[in-house]
Every structure is written in C-alpha cells, then in structure tokens.
Amino acid sequence: EVLLVESGGGLVQPGGSLRLSCAASGFTFSSYVMNWVRQAPGKGLEWVSLISASGDYSYYADSMKGRFTISRDNSKNTLHLQMSSLRAEDTAVYYCARSLPQFAQYESWGQGTLVTVSS
Amino acid sequence: DIQMTQSPSSLSASVGDRVTISCRASQGIGSYLNWYQQKPGKAPKLLIYAATSLQSGIASRFSGSGSGTDFTLTISSLQPEDFATYYCQQSYTTLITFGQGTRLEI
C-alpha cells in the first residue's frame, strides 16, 4: 500500500522559515516524480512544486520561486520542502503527492500538514 | 501559465440526479486533464485521468469527456457520498494548474 505522511507543519512568523517532510512507503520512491500541492483555508488546490525521480530537476509555481526549495532523499524515501521568507498568504495545508507517468495524474496523496504564518 | 476555469462554481442537486461539471483550458491541452474529488478535511482523490480514463476503484457512474480546451465530468446518478468539491487539473505543461473547484451540494 502506498503511504505518504507529511510532517513539519506549524506556526511560524512572517519572514520565517519552515521545512516540511513527506515520508513515503509501499512503493519504489526513487522511480516517481513527487509533488507538493497546497490549499489555503476555504480555498482551492494550488500546485507548489515538483521534483524529478532522480532529483535532477525541479519546477515551482511563480509565487514560490526563489522562496521554496524542493528536494528528496531517495536513500531515505523522503521528500522535503524548504520554505523561507514566509508570508501570511502561504498559510495552507500542504500535501505531498505522487504523480504517475505520461499524464502526471496525482494518484496518491498524503493527509497534509498545516502551515500557519502569523505573528 | 494555462488557466483552468470550472463551471459552475457551485451546484445543488439531489440523489439520483445526473450532473455535469465543465472545465475549460485557456489553451489546448490535448487530453492532459485529470479530475479529483475532495471531501472536507480530506486529501483529494483521483477520479479521472487523461480526460476519459476511470481511475481504478472509482465507481462507473463517474465519467469524463472532452479534449483540447473543453472538458466535462459527468456523474450519471448522484449518490449521497458524491457530495463534495471537484477539481480539474491540467498536466499538459510542467507548471500544473487546477481549476477553482466546483462545490456539489445537496
């Protein structure tokens, strides 16, 4: 069974930093593109970032570029999202998701971790 | 970025109704269109991928159609567990975008 478990969320002040993690199990982690998607309270889904299976390349939504860094440790089956210069509008539940080849459908999701940016 | 526009934003329906939700892309995306269902407090669930393919384990009352810029999610006979929010997602470009969501209410 594919299992994705996020951690690292919490309360952080504006301008602060936070590192999210996603522990993966039940599949060959190093074979899949992984993603972060977020959802602000009461709002829709917003794609954040993706990283290739090997970790060689990554992409970001424009509003996160330069502030967020996605990474992965295939030896530990773990995905990370380093977030800095956080703003109130970054407050959201952050989900990690596994995407499948060809159509990049997000077939498995974690339960999410809440990040609250507030003074 | 490719913009995805869903309509309607919300919809009221009854058990047994046939429901359609539309999703329009700001440019052609072929069949790179996926649909998700999300219930309050839960992660989204994949329903349809590649515009028309039913994800394993999803009830056959869900179906998808369309290609290019216009897509539709159809629920043939609403069940109580189908009341949720539905999102389309384009994966034609690496910069993924979602529709704003359609809330399906009783």
Give chain B positions within 8 Å (CB) of A100.
49
Q: How confident is the model at residue A15 (pLDDT cuts 50, 70, 90)?
A: very high
Q: What gap in Å lies between CA B103 and CA B38, rounded to an integer?
A: 9
C-alpha separations of B82 from A85, B14, B29 in Å: 39, 10, 27
Q: What gap in Å lies between CA A109 and CA A112, rounded to an integer?
A: 8
- B34 to chain A, closest Cα gap in Å: 6
Closest to A110 measured CA to CA, from A36, A19, A12: A36
Query: What confidence tens digit (pLDDT) does each residue in A66-106 have?
Result: 999 999 999 999 999 999 999 999 999 999 999 998 899 99
The pLDDT of B55-63, averaged and rounded, is 97
**What integer pLDDT is reported at residue A71 of this predicted model?**
98
Residue B93: pLDDT above 90?
Answer: yes
**What integer pLDDT is reported at residue A101 of this predicted model?**
87
- Quote the percentage of chain B above a pLDDT of 70: 100
| Mutation choice for A interface testing from B96, B102, B103 by most A CBs within 10 A | B96
Count chain A–chain B contacts defined by CB atoms under 8 A. 62
Q: Give SS3 for A91.
A: coil
**What integer pLDDT is reported at residue B20 of this predicted model?**
98
Q: How confident is the model at residue B49 (pLDDT cuts 50, 70, 90)?
A: very high
- The average confidence (pLDDT) of chain B is 97
How big, in percent rounded to 5, are the helix, strand and coil portions of chain A?
5, 50, 45
Window A:34-53, CB contacts with B under 8 Å? 35, 44-47, 50
Query: What confidence tens digit (pLDDT) does each residue in A30-58 have?
Result: 999 999 999 999 999 999 999 999 999 99
